[in-house]
Chain A
Amino acid sequence: MTPMVQAQEVCKSFGALHVLKGITLEVGRGEVMCMVGPSGSGKSTFLRCINHLEQVNAGRLYVDGDLIGYREAGAKLHEISPRVAAKQRRDIGMVFQHFNLFPHRTALENLIEAPIHVKGVKKADAVARAKDLLDQVGMAEKATAYPAQLSGGQQQRVAIARALAMNPKLMLFDEPTSALDPELVGEVLEVMKKLAQEGMTMVVVTHEMGFAREVANKLVFMDGGVVVESGPPREVLANPKHERTKAFLSKVL
């Protein structure tokens, strides 16, 4: 079976700045991969490459067997049209550090927006599904609240539900708890843990080592645009092999 995410020598540069210098890794179906590393190491950029928010410069990146960002015809790669790119993104949910909920829409409206207007789901069906999802993240009572009236943790839970409303096959989390007050981190991690247990494939950029140890199948440590070390989280966290991993972990643990 093809892995959900397959990266082969993925490179990304912004002008002369090389952010990713050949990332090769795989995420199997139903697996949770946590990515850790110092800021500027390229974790978030790699995540954004997976749903083509950034275009890969070299290497290949496949999601569910489909090449991301390009169309392969013989030996040549063709840039894909924005319409095709949008179609690829539909099945990949993304959760942002700063939630990015639509402030002019209520929690419920945030959830039904894309299913109705992108997928063409009937409004009644979208609302039913949205209510169900809000209930799952413990936000059923706040369906009519606007994002500005919610706490950070509540907003992030709604944002997770919004991504789930598109029935994605893969969920990307870009430091989902980094902008939260410490006492609110737990409620978001709880939702993510539940999601992992239900079998969702997840790629999580995080600084929450406890979450990584408990939930992830695989931990990837990145530094300077390369994967320095990867493996089962317990092993990597307990016995880091590289100096750089050791140095990083000694600071965050």
Chain B
Amino acid sequence: MTVVDSSPSTSPAAIDAVPLRHPWRWVAAVVIVILVVLFLYGMATNPAYRWNIFAEYLFNDRILFGVWNTLQLTVYSMVLAIVLGVVLAVMRLSPNPVFRSVSWVFLWIFRGTPIYVQLAFWGLIPTIYANIQLGVPFGPSFFHLNLQALSIPFILAMLGLALNEAAYMAEIIRAGISSVPEGQSEASTALGMSWGMTMRRTVLPQAMRVIIPPTGNEVISMLKTTSLVTAVPYAFDLYSIATREIAARTFEPVPLALVAVAWYLLMTSILMVGQYYLERYYSRGASRKLTTKQLEALAKAQQIGEAGHV
């Protein structure tokens, strides 16, 4: 019989191994860098890019106005779409058959037609419904609104984007909700929670981990889809101002398209940073990996324990 001596008399030396080399990664990186440098050199020296015009218009007041409008359109329609999407998804999964059908029909229409056509339709609403009256049918009217007298392309554009997006958000949220194990809602029910509270406090927070990444995609996609509002027609978003307004006047399509590209890229980059932090927040508790704080506390406890032994 062997007796294993487990007393930690001298701990073995830490391993100092030669790291595995990856020569082909270096070769690939060098090739790519060369290609990028060549392309950048071409961009800088090709006069067709007209960099002086680009610089002149990058911070132009009209461009900044377009950036602001694009951001507003994105944020407002996205917020509306998420709220509506949650409602639609919850309706779709609810035990109430009326809710389920309403949600299904909404999705059927708004996912089944192109966004450009929908936006054009929203633009036609003042033509179709010239007046809005609130009152008893065939009786007296209490409230009257003349849509044609109002200038509401921004609101129509926002509604158009939001309702279309809501259909997609509803599917994303439904997938998130379905990803939460049934035991979770069962445990909540057994604790006396109502269906609504179970959704709100147990299921949706856990579904967030699945919902956030595709929603980040949708926000970024929405930022770009705002360039379609010209169908309404709404003419003051970034793309419309850069191309239809300024480039059409100055006959400089290339530098102004680049101005638009630069601003879209900047905005999507900022959104990606926000998405990173949101994902980190909602993944708490999802892995056994300890947080930095918890690791520090454990290491401290270990040190104290070892100090006590000596």
Contacts and interface: CB of A to CB of B under 8 A. Distances in A.
Whether both chains belong to one complex is answered with: yes
Interface of A: 51, 53, 82-83, 86-87, 89-90, 92-94, 96, 98, 100-106, 113-114, 117-119, 145-149, 162-163, 166
Nearest to B198: A86
B192 A100 contact: no
Given A102-B202, A162-B191, 13 more contacts: A53-B186, A83-B194, A86-B193, A93-B190, A100-B187, A102-B184, A103-B206, A113-B201, A117-B197, A119-B192, A146-B284, A148-B286, A149-B290
Contacts of A105: 285
Contacts, number: 76
A42 to B, nearest CB: 18
B153 interface: no
18 contacts: A51-B190, A82-B195, A86-B193, A86-B194, A94-B190, A98-B183, A100-B184, A102-B187, A104-B206, A113-B201, A114-B191, A117-B193, A117-B201, A146-B285, A147-B285, A148-B285, A149-B294, A163-B191
B288 interface: yes
B304 to A, nearest CB: 14
B250 interface: no
Interface string B277-305: 00000001111101000100000000000
A118 B285 contact: no
Nearest to A148: B288
A104 B284 contact: yes
Contacts of A118: 191-193, 197
B189 A53 contact: yes
Contacts of A90: 191-192
B223 to A, nearest CB: 29
Interface residues of B, number: 25
A100 B193 contact: no
B186 A96 contact: yes
A89 B197 CA distance: 14
Contacts of A83: 194
A247 B196 CA distance: 46
Given A53-B189, A113-B191, A103 B288 contact: no
B204 to A, nearest CB: 10
